[in-house]
Amino acid sequence: MTMRQHGNAPIVVGVDGSERALDAVRWAAREAEGWNAPLHLVSASGYPDLYIGATLPPPGGLLDELEEHGNNVVAEAEQVAAAESGVEIHTQVTPDSPIPFLIEMSTTARMVVLGASGRGGFVGLLVGSTTIALAAHAHCPVVSVRGTPAATGPVVVGVDGSELSEDAIEYAFAEAALRDTEVLAVHTWSDADTEAVFSETRLQFEWEPLEEAEQRVLAERLAGWQERYPDVRVRRVVERDKPRHQLLECSRGAQLMVVGSRGRGGFRGMLMGSTSQALLHHAECPVMVIRRQQPERA
């Protein structure tokens, strides 16, 4: 789902009663108000997972207890959201496993928003393999609300020249326009990156210096979006560095960071290695992860 396909799609928030989850609710409520979108607060207990491989059936009253806990959790979250904005709010409690449930919800959502960590049904939701699973299979952006977003900072976007980063750029410009702030576009390169060194476009420019080639790649990627959003200011950062270093540095003082879940060049395997771990555990602002819905061209 692209920005142009959202319509009146809701913003879905996974809640578990933790303070981090309530931070996500507050952030999502403000986001929903900006987009004039409904807010959908959900609690998934993961009841079937609790006894996988167990030799004894679960206690008879456990499901009732989990449902009661879920109802209390979403009621608290609803109060927090209502105090933050006047958006339309819906709630849902389910015994389903969190990840499959949220992936299904993502098919009709504008975005799925989660706290940086939690407890209960969503325990460890943004740690390790669970994060990778959600970011790899969700049908809409996934936002990890962490840190303290700056009130007037930029929207940071990681750009690697891939089609996926084009999607990230689209969301970054839209979010910057919503916040009346600038886009900070970050592009990194390395002498060891053979794809950059031997790129077709660089050869067409008669082996222009690599740094100039990377500056040009970034400018070309941003050009169309700057025309579409003429009121959004743009700053560019092109550095010979690892992407996680630059992105973590830029997260300080940012309102939001937007990255693709998979790319090429400096952002290859972003959600499979150190870059993903660094961003999800150490970024000092909310992180929006975009994945491409259709297969990339070979």
283-294: burial string, b at 16+ Cβ within 10 Å, e else: bbbbbbbbbbee
Arithmetic mean of pLDDT over the chain? 79
Per the structure block, which two tokens stand in for 285?
């602002």
Q: Which pLDDT belongs to residue 150?
A: 81
pLDDT in tens, 17-64: 889 899 999 999 999 999 999 999 999 877 655 555 555 666 767 778
Residue 177, C-beta contacts closer than 8 angstroms, at least 6 positions apart: 229, 231, 232
pTM of the model: 0.83
Residue 1 has pLDDT above 60, yes or no: no
Write phi, then psi, for 257 (nearest 5 degrees). -120, 135
265: confidence class by pLDDT, cuts 50, 70, 90: very low
Q: Which pLDDT belongs to residue 233?
A: 95
| Among candidate residues 151, 148, 145, 150, the one with its CA nearest the CA of residue 20 | 145
Q: Which pLDDT belongs to residue 241?
A: 76
Residue 296 has pLDDT above 60, yes or no: no
Residue 142, C-beta contacts closer than 8 angstroms, at least 6 positions apart: 106, 111, 112, 113, 114, 134, 135, 288, 289
Give the mean model confidence (pLDDT) for residues 241-253. 87
Residues 258, 175: Cα–Cα separation, whole Å: 9
Q: Which pLDDT belongs to residue 31?
A: 97
Write phi, then psi, for 165 (nearest 5 degrees). -70, -25
Write phi, then psi, for 256 (nearest 5 degrees). -160, 145
Tell me which range, 78-82, 210-214, 264-268, 278-282, is most confidently predicted by mean pLDDT. Answer: 78-82
274: confidence class by pLDDT, cuts 50, 70, 90: low
Residue 104, C-beta contacts closer than 8 angstroms, at least 6 positions apart: none
Report the chain's C-alpha Rg in angstroms.
20
